[in-house]
């Protein structure tokens, strides 16, 4: 096989016939509803080839043209899925079929999101050679295995704004991920301006780990990022971490601190020392206000309440405070996500519990699933892409060991915890915490090449995944990364070709 699609599609047939040549004047045709996908495809192909494609609303075959069509009668794609994630696109909505020969390209899907997934495949298929740009003759039938395929980025310890995150969103689109989860608050900083609590950003957004510069999203930059992601079929899930990891809030709001004195700023990387206090009158109003504001700023279906590493609080108080945060999210008509520890609070049915630490007792998680909770898999030993590649890696941490490309690839989310039924697992999410990451290059260097491995774990069914074949396909992808100006780590596990 010569085609290098990542994630691996459900069906791929390579035809030994002439490719489609992209010439000056090549037309890109679609229906009105398909225009967002066509416009995005035209943009990325123009960057890749140097040739502008004119997008037209038109029907019917045209020799040499690229056509994107919405087809409500498209037959189901072969294979099955573990399960859809409530609030996100279904498997059928993300499915697409692609046919390319020398006379044209036809991309069909039932839904715009399917066209967006197929457009990413088209971008990966483009080849540059002496005769210009071409797309090999192929037939692809494809749909995701898991409904939730995400990346979490910590923008609290070091701030990454729109200029850094939009290239990450482009990377998520390229590899058919559908969730960007942003860890917006922690001990070191508060990174989103909320209308009812302007003091949070005013007092707690200017610093970062080691005293580095901070930053925050205002209403407009947040809306712009959310819209940029939505244009690529990606949902933004914002996280305000409570009732621990809250020193930035305690520094801004003295009424959240027993005694009323704001805490000092914190620029270290320790965890577990800060906490809200249930008995203070200001605490309930704070939780209600911040999650209500966040819901109004974020059109997506989910809000993340954090809940991890609360090490200095009685369990009863923890249950109370997590319950208040979750109630505020539900009152705003959003779905609740929380880190693994929230399983101990008897979460409401439909709550998504994000597993990160396989050393924890699985019994509360099993009980939560029996009560109707769902599970998102982010085990640190597989999916934490802030962990070092190996002992020589200059960036990252090693508290859970090292994560090489093979570690990120060789696992199945639905089989991580045998005690948890596979049907309760909504998907997989990689995570990047930023204690040691300061720049876009730092971030990309940790994501690439491991994020494509996680993407294939999320998209491709286990019986269609093969490490040797993945290595072969991934070896060609640095050309894509370099074309977009992205740094990457030349892991010795891959025999790189470009």
Strand ranges (DSSP E) for 369-485? Answer: 374-377, 425-432
Which of 439, 450, 432 has its CA nearest to residue 488? 450
Which of 96, 98, 111, 94 has its CA nearest to residue 149? 94
Instruction: Give the chain's end-to-end CA distance (angstroms, integer).
Output: 17
| Cα 168 from chain centroid (whole Å) | 9
Structure tokens at 266: 């914190």
Which of 449, 312, 457, 320 has its CA nearest to residue 379? 457
Q: How far apart are CA 456 and CA 461, in angstroms?
A: 8
CB atoms within 10 A of CB 178: 28
Which of 129, 77, 92, 166 has its CA nearest to residue 444? 166
Of residues 309, 317, 367, 412, which has the active-site annotation? 309
Query: CA-based Rg of the chain, rounded to a whole angstrom?
Result: 23
Which of 281, 276, 289 has its CA nearest to residue 317? 276
Q: How far apart are CA 103 and CA 285, in angstroms?
A: 63
Structure tokens at 306: 């954090």
429 among known catalytic residues: no
Asked if 93 contacts 76 with a C-beta cutoff of 8 angstroms, the reply is no
To the nearest 10 degrees (0 to 180), the angle between helices 162-174 and 219-230 is 10
Residues found in the chain? 498
Q: How far apart are CA 426 and CA 237, in angstroms?
A: 15
Structure tokens at 167: 């290239």
Burial 385-399 (b: 16+ CB within 10 A, else e): bbbbbeeebebbeee
Q: How far apart are CA 336 and CA 334, in angstroms?
A: 7
Q: Which residues are catalytic?
A: 309
């Amino acid at each position: 096989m010569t085609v290098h699609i990542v994630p691996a599609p459900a069906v791929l047939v390579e035809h030994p016939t002439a490719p489609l040549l992209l010439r000056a004047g090549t037309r890109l045709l679609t229906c009105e509803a398909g225009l967002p996908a066509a416009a995005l495809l035209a943009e990325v192909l123009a960057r890749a080839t140097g040739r502008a494609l004119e997008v037209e609303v038109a029907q019917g075959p045209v020799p040499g043209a690229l056509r994107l069509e919405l087809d409500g009668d498209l037959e189901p794609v072969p294979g099955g899925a573990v399960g859809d994630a409530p609030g996100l696109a279904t498997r059928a909505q993300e499915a697409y079929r692609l046919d390319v020969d020398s006379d044209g390209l036809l991309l069909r899907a039932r839904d715009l999101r399917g066209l967006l997934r197929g457009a990413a495949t088209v971008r990966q298929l483009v080849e540059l050679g002496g005769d210009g740009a071409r797309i090999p003759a192929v037939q692809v039938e494809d749909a995701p295995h898991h409904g939730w395929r995400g990346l979490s980025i910590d923008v609290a310890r070091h701030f990454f704004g729109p200029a850094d995150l939009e290239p990450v969103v482009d990377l998520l689109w390229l590899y058919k991920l559908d969730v960007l989860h942003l860890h917006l608050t922690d001990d070191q900083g508060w990174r989103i301006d909320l209308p009812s609590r302007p003091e949070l950003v005013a007092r707690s957004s200017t610093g970062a780990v080691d005293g580095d510069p901070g930053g925050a999203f205002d209403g407009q930059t947040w809306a712009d990022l959310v819209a940029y992601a939505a244009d690529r079929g990606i949902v933004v899930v914002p996280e305000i971490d409570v009732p621990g990891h809250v020193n930035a809030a305690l520094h801004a709001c003295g009424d959240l601190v027993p005694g009323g004195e704001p805490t000092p700023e914190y620029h270290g990387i320790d965890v577990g020392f800060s906490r809200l206090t249930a008995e203070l009158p200001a605490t309930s109003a704070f939780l209600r206000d911040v999650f209500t504001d966040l819901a109004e700023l974020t059109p997506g279906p989910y809000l993340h309440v954090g809940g991890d590493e609360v090490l200095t609080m009685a369990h009863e108080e923890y249950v109370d405070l997590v319950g208040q945060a979750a109630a505020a999210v539900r009152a705003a008509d959003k779905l609740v996500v929380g880190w693994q520890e929230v399983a101990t609070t008897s979460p409401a049915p439909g709550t998504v519990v994000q597993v990160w630490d396989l050393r924890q007792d699985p019994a509360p998680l099993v009980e939560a699933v029996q009560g109707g909770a769902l599970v998102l898999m982010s085990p640190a030993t597989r999916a934490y892409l802030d962990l070092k590649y190996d002992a020589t890696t200059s960036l990252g941490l090693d508290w859970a060991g090292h994560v090489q490309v093979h570690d990120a690839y060789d696992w199945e989310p639905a089989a991580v915890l045998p005690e948890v039924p596979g049907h309760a697992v909504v998907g997989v999410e990689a995570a990047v915490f930023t204690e040691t990451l300061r720049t876009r290059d730092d971030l990309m260097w940790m994501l690439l090449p491991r994020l494509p491995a996680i993407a294939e774990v999320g998209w491709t069914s286990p019986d269609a995944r093969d490490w040797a074949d993945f290595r072969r396909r991934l070896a060609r992808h640095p050309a894509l990364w370099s074309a977009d100006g992205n740094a990457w780590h030349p892991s010795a596990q891959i025999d790189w070709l470009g």
